[in-house]
Structure 1
């Protein structure tokens, strides 16, 4: 039962993270582009601030639950007298997932800080550049997230 609950939390966290990237990139940003920079950039800042707070929690949940589930599988194998060989799809998921976490750290703690400073100073050109950088890296993370999902679903 614990494994099932942790797996559910793991998947729900991925849904929030990847789904939020889809929403921001394909729905929120195009709609916000209709606004002039003094309205658009603070709107995007406020939306991203809320989203990134949720992603911080999601990343922690994904990391802890994923590590626990892998550790549990390894422990079960060893207790059965078998070597633990992590499946290829799990390996891909871990490597790309950790890469996504590192990219998110860069987005949240470097690029978003630049955006926050630009918004506080009402420096819309700098804010636009910061948003463009965030969009680029969020797009990279979205592709990685979709590759993980496709890999796991196709190799399961």
Structure 2
């Protein structure tokens, strides 16, 4: 059972981290190099519209699987890395909730109104926050590997 929980936990993390990596390192730079601002903002907004529900599902999977593994190890001395991962993960989840609630909502409004300067500002904010989350994700992975 523990291996199945770990599989789901890793799958949730891989989907979320992989999506952030793809967005930051491949899609956004390629869109900036080949598309005009209006087309780029429409594309990236639509990509986020499709990706954010996947992140939401990943978060639920991470919470359930991680919580179950931690609960099953309760009282047996959990590694420090697990605590660090849980804390960093909580910060990442809160940051994602902020992205969806504030800059992404404003981005959608700006794109719907064809307000490209506002859309570019909001997309820049989202990219910065995603970079922070991406770095936090790597810190969580390192914590688990180094603090056994």
Match of 2:140 among 134, 148, 154: 148
Q: Alpha-carbon deviations, 1:42-100, whole Å to 9, x = none?
A: 000011111111000001110111111101111xx4xxxxxx43321011001000000
Q: Is the 8 A contact 2:85 2:140 kept in 1?
A: yes
Unpaired runs of at least 5, structure 1: 78-83
Residue 5 (structure 1) shift: 1.1
CA distance in 1, matches of 2:118, 2:141: 34
Write out the 4+ residue segments of structure 1 that deviate beyond 6 Å after TM superposition: none
Distance 2:126 2:132 in 1: 10
Match of 2:80 in 1: 88
Alignment of 1:116-135 (within 5 A): 116-135=108-127
Deviation per CA, 1:102-156: give whole Å up to 9, x if none: 0000011221111111111111111001100000100000000001112212334
> Shift of residue 39 of structure 1?
0.3
Tell me the number of residue pairs that the alignment of Structure 1 and Structure 2 aligns: 147
* 1:85 partner SS: coil
SS at match of 2:135: helix
Structure 2 segments unaligned to the other structure (5+ residues): none
Paired residues of 2:81 and 2:146 also in contact (CA < 8 A): no
Out of 9-18 and 145-154, give the one that drifted further.
145-154
Q: Is the aligned partner of 1:17 residue 2:16?
A: yes
Partner of 2:104: 112
Q: Secondary structure at the match of 1:33?
A: helix
- Specify the alignment match of 1:40 in structure 2: 40
Q: CA RMSD in A?
A: 1.1
Q: TM-score, normalised by structure 1?
A: 0.90
Normalised by the length of structure 2, the TM-score is: 0.95
